[in-house]
Amino acid sequence: MILTIIQSIIFISYVTFLMIKFKGPLSSISDSWYKLSGVYKNLFTLFCWSLGFTLFFQTNGTSAMFFISGVGLSTVGVATMFNSDKIIKIIHYSGASICILFAFLALYIERHTIIPFIIFFNMFNHISII
């Protein structure tokens, strides 16, 4: 439970910082690497690594799903310049996809809940990509 609180504080703090700094939401959290300048660019990597590292220890011991999710998010923090190179873009998006997929699988397998998946799916079901 304490890890979930720490993860929530990290996530809410970073997103709030971005919303205040840029006077509204960005198109994605990953875009913050491009929008921030100077030493602030490192905040995106720190954000990904902090959440990824805490995911390593989120498991209750029945599967490695949270660990794999953390590896995916940590990979996102390494492949920050996803608009600069095709390979980096593939690594970045693969890491993000692995993080999301394995987090939902872990929540279902270890915590016996699909509520976050339903909220996520419902949220993106209403967003027009075109």
Confidence of residue 129 (pLDDT cuts 50, 70, 90): very low
Q: Please report the DSSP string for 32-60 in residue order.
A: HHHH--GGGGHHHHHHHHHHHHHHHT---
Q: Which two tokens stand for residue 72?
A: 């995916």
pLDDT in the model for residue 125? 67
Our count of domains for the chain comes to 1
46 residue type, one letter: L
Specify if 64 maps to a domain: yes
Q: Mean pLDDT across the stretch 7-24?
A: 96
**How many whole angstroms separate alpha carbon 128 and alpha carbon 130?**
6
Specify if 130 maps to a domain: no
Helices (H), 22-129: 32-35, 42-56, 65-78, 86-111, 115-125
Q: Cβ(105)–Cβ(67) under 8 Å?
A: no
pLDDT in the model for residue 60? 81
pLDDT in the model for residue 127? 54
Residue pLDDT, tens place only, 60-110: 877 899 999 999 999 999 999 999 999 999 999 999 999 999 999 999 999
**Exposure string over 95-107, b if 16+ CB within 10 A, otherwise e:** bbebbeebbbbbb
**Domain enclosing residue 35, as ranges:** 2-125
Question: Which pTM was predicted?
Answer: 0.88
Q: Cβ(54)–Cβ(6) under 8 Å?
A: yes
Any residues with CB less than 8 A from the CB of 57 and at least 6 apart, and which? 3, 66
Question: Residue 42 pLDDT more than 70?
Answer: yes
Residue predicted with more confidence, 70 or 125: 70
pLDDT in the model for residue 14? 97
Query: What is the three-class DSSP state of 129?
Result: coil
pLDDT in the model for residue 122? 82
Q: Mean pLDDT across the stretch 43-52?
A: 97
